[in-house]
Structure 1
């Protein structure tokens, strides 16, 4: 079972428009509504694969009720932490060429009591899942150290923790020793405070995060695929280029695929050998997600792992298509 934690979930409304004209009255050609948030998306992809998942969420208000209902329909168990504020609603405008304009609401401000209750809820649920995936930005009221506290409490129960966040929340959590962190290239550059121009730069940055406490680093490099630095070694993988329909949630789908396949082995020489296979799964999930509308998560029938290429100890002089800056 994979448990996800999304401190700042949302209700995402996506409208398809012929073009985005500022100041005009736009007629939507289609619309959809989805439960949103990085951890929520991970749970949705995990449930679509037929794997049990529970989403721990701070929810209240009409939007919160609808999020829980939508997730239940998709096979996700929801453990809701009641809050006084209103769960936020986001709006996206999707154009035919794949351009997406998003308006994200600030979300509620959690009180100290709600923050502690959310942490304690995760701790009480942490004795059973294979993985805990803690994902996304922190809402107002939660300090950057919040994820570090969550990781520490979860590790006390023996659960393995994957963390997908950025900025101070990521760097503060490294000392708590998450088993996996999943930055994209700009987030990785920001974490080490230097630019990433080559694959070697990304490898060295990932190794630095490992030296600071991360058990493994799964880095999304955009058009350059994904990089995995873990106890088993260094692996780089790519999936065939596809026409991007929407990249919303693609990284979350990739994390789901990685965890569904077992994630990285716990230690070098463990004999698990799961890391390369998990990277293949992550790439297949990410490639499938970008071909789907909005934040729709892929199902196993959408995947093409046979098209994925993974290389151990890749050439470090490979220049990144889009260099990353802190």
Structure 2
């Protein structure tokens, strides 16, 4: 079983245009859709579509309309009652795949709410193989919240605790790297640069630069790093070595949620006992599949592109 936590879920509204967005103008849309979103939920939907048991933990009021959208996703959810309704995020895409995203801050959680979420994650994690902590933190939650979750789960289960992956950014990611010792982090190239205090990474040899920066963290602070690089693919750095992978050719529909699907692909491959190179290959294939779908749809195995995903060994440990 895999458990995900989405402490700041979102109702993702995606609007498709038939021409580039014109800021300040008025233009019609060709379609719109709504998906139950938030990074952890996106991961859970992809995992569930692959036929692997998953439980998604999230704060949710009993009267929140988000619940109906979440139920349509067919994932098993463990909800923690809170006041206030899930935020709505708006994504605008054009025919070229250009994406504009507006994210609202989310429902503020009290200290009691946050403690209840931690307790729910601990309960759900019994017997799990992976725990995925993903997404931004809502107002009222401290930057080290994910560290609290990691410590609570490991205290409860000791050597039987699940492996823990974290996909967040900014101070929340910095706190996890400083104190949490996660089994995996999944930043993109910009988030990795911010984490290590560097400017945006040069595009010339992005994979090698990303692997070198990640090596400063692996394995001293985190066991492994999966760094997503957009159209350049991804890099995996572990104690054993570093690898890069280029994605297959696809027609981009929406890049929203592609990184979440990459993480789902990685965890699914590890769940199946795959070697590092195959875990990276599966991650890139899942990310490419998500980018080829409209909205924040989670890819199913049938959506995976058939083109080659070439994995290159960058360096030994």
TM over 0.5, shorter chain:
yes
Tell me how far 1:11 sits from its aligned partner. 0.7
- Matched-pair contact (CA < 8 Å) for 1:10–1:89: yes
- Consecutive unaligned residues in structure 1, runs of 5 or more: 265-271, 316-326
Match in the other structure for 2:59: 58
Inter-partner Cα distance in structure 2 for 1:282 and 1:105: 28
Match in the other structure for 1:244: 252
Match in the other structure for 1:5: 5
Deviations 1:217-268 (A, max 9, x none): 000122321111113311111122322111010000010000011169xxxx
Aligned residue pairs total: 306
Matches within 5 A, 1:1-326: 1-19=1-19, 20-60=21-61, 62=63, 64=64, 66-156=65-155, 157=157, 158-174=161-177, 175-195=179-199, 196-197=201-202, 198=205, 199-262=207-270, 274-304=275-305, 307-313=308-314
Deviations 1:38-69 (A, max 9, x none): 1110011111111111110111265x4x4333
Tell me how far 1:95 sits from its aligned partner. 2.4
Deviations 1:106-144 (A, max 9, x none): 211100100111111111111221101100110000111
Change (3 A) 1:305 1:193: farther
Tell me how far 1:213 sits from its aligned partner. 1.8
> TM-score, normalised on structure 2?
0.90
- Consecutive unaligned residues in structure 2, runs of 5 or more: none
Tell me how far 1:24 sits from its aligned partner. 4.8
The Cα RMSD (Å) is 2.1
Tell me how far 1:21 sits from its aligned partner. 4.0
- Matched-pair contact (CA < 8 Å) for 1:225–1:239: yes
